[in-house]
Amino acid sequence: MHRSYSLRNSRAPTASQLMNPPPPVSSARNSRSFTPFRHSMRIHQAVNFSPDLAKRLAVLVKMEKNVMASMVQVTRGRRDAARQLSYWGEDCDDDISDVTDKLGVLFYEVAELENYLIDRHDQYRVTLKSIRNIEASVQPSREKKQKLLDHIYMLKHKDPESPKLVTMEQELVREEAACLVAEAQLSNTTREKFKQAMTYNLDALHEHAEKLGLITAYGRHLLNLIDDAPVTPGEARPAYDGYETSRQIIMDAEHALSTWIPAHPSVNFAKPQEEDVQSDARSWNDYEAQGEPVPVQQMTQMNDSQSDTSEMAENDPNMHPHVREERIARMDGVENNAVNDTTSLQPKEQQPAVQVA
């Protein structure tokens, strides 16, 4: 397999693609199907009216909206087709009539599933928006700091003895502190929200996939009800008496769909941290919002919560073995880092925060 495992490089066809010749290309793709005007308008709007830092994510959010708008069309089309299938069958023989009606119910259910998927995809999109918002809000802080730095640099060359220099350097220290907080907020929010958004997305796709699988299985059972033994001209087909059976299959399908639960629970993002926060202390974000320094006690608490995560990584049965190894290795690294921090790195790195206090 010569395929590259990244989207940033080009892709080669897989071995299975080379082995199995694909089905004939659908005629839907031959027709000039262009991207709707509103879709490209959305992207242009995001490109032109977003702050630089948030531009890429803003475009992604708009693209996901386009995907959803197209999915709405598919859903609508599937519903129409399901109704039409049942309507066509109405005129045919009894068995075809019954089976098409019941298959119509199942295909309608597929449309309903996709409908539900759209709403859950929107949760993912809205969660991405909150990352976009914090990206956009961190931007001015970065720009202000950069402008101050440029200003001081210029002033130092022009007039090294200027009394303004001292004031500006004090201002720079304040800006650097604000920037540090902003970057930490960005880093934390991005991770938390990204994990949450992707969990929404993957959970929604997973549920969709499982339920779709159930529906197709029941559809196949329905198909078995059709008597496709050829008849000679003038020969009567045996009377169809599968009504009870087909009804039972649909009832079973409904039951299976309504009692479906995920085989393994979704990834528990940020659960341990939340518990810690609730248990005894405000999060550092609350402190920063009120301009208070973060208490040392709570900082050690945070390190504890990290080692909690490491234990969770070791015990979680749903974790991919590679992820588990990687996590444990990383957690060991964290502990080593933490030891280093307390000896040499921590005082130096937290200098601005200390100066604020």
Residue 265 interacts with a second copy (CB under 8 A): yes or no: no
Q: How far is the CB of 1 from a second copy (least distance, A)?
A: 7
Residue 49 interacts with a second copy (CB under 8 A): yes or no: no
The whole-angstrom separation of Cα 303 and Cα 299 is 7
- Quick one: three-class SS letters along 106-166? HHHHHHHHHHHHHHHHHHHHHHHHHHHHHHHHHHHHHHHHHHHHHHHHHHHHHCCCCCHHH
The whole-angstrom separation of Cα 104 and Cα 89 is 10
Residue 12 interacts with a second copy (CB under 8 A): yes or no: no
Residue 164 interacts with a second copy (CB under 8 A): yes or no: no
Residue 172 interacts with a second copy (CB under 8 A): yes or no: no
> Cβ atoms within 10 A of the Cβ of 178, count?
16
Give the distance from CA 39 to its chain's centroid. 21
Q: Measured from the CB atom, is 154 or 299 closer to a second copy?
A: 299
The whole-angstrom separation of Cα 324 and Cα 190 is 22
Residue 317 interacts with a second copy (CB under 8 A): yes or no: no
Residue 91 interacts with a second copy (CB under 8 A): yes or no: yes
Going by C-alpha positions, the residue among 66, 100, 65, 60 that lies closest to residue 81 is 100
The whole-angstrom separation of Cα 198 and Cα 177 is 31
3-class secondary structure, 6: coil
Among 86, 127, 139, 141, the residue binding a second copy under the rule CB under 8 A is 86
Residue 28 interacts with a second copy (CB under 8 A): yes or no: yes
The whole-angstrom separation of Cα 192 and Cα 188 is 6
Q: By CB under 8 A, which span of 136-144, 148-156, 164-172, 230-238 interacts with a second copy?
A: 230-238
Q: By CB under 8 A, which span of 144-152, 156-164, 167-175, 249-257 interacts with a second copy?
A: 249-257
Q: How far is the CB of 152 from a second copy (least distance, A)?
A: 21
Among 150, 159, 183, 275, the residue binding a second copy under the rule CB under 8 A is 183
Rg (CA), the chain: 30
Among 136, 256, 267, 328, the residue binding a second copy under the rule CB under 8 A is 267
Q: Measured from the CB atom, is 148 or 302 closer to a second copy?
A: 302
Q: How far is the CB of 145 from a second copy (least distance, A)?
A: 14
Quick one: angle between helices 296-315 and 271-279, nearest 10? 140
Residue 161 interacts with a second copy (CB under 8 A): yes or no: no
Residue with tokens 């080669």: 12
Among 12, 41, 154, 231, the residue binding a second copy under the rule CB under 8 A is 231
Among 21, 160, 163, 230, the residue binding a second copy under the rule CB under 8 A is 230
Q: Measured from the CB atom, is 21 or 160 closer to a second copy?
A: 21
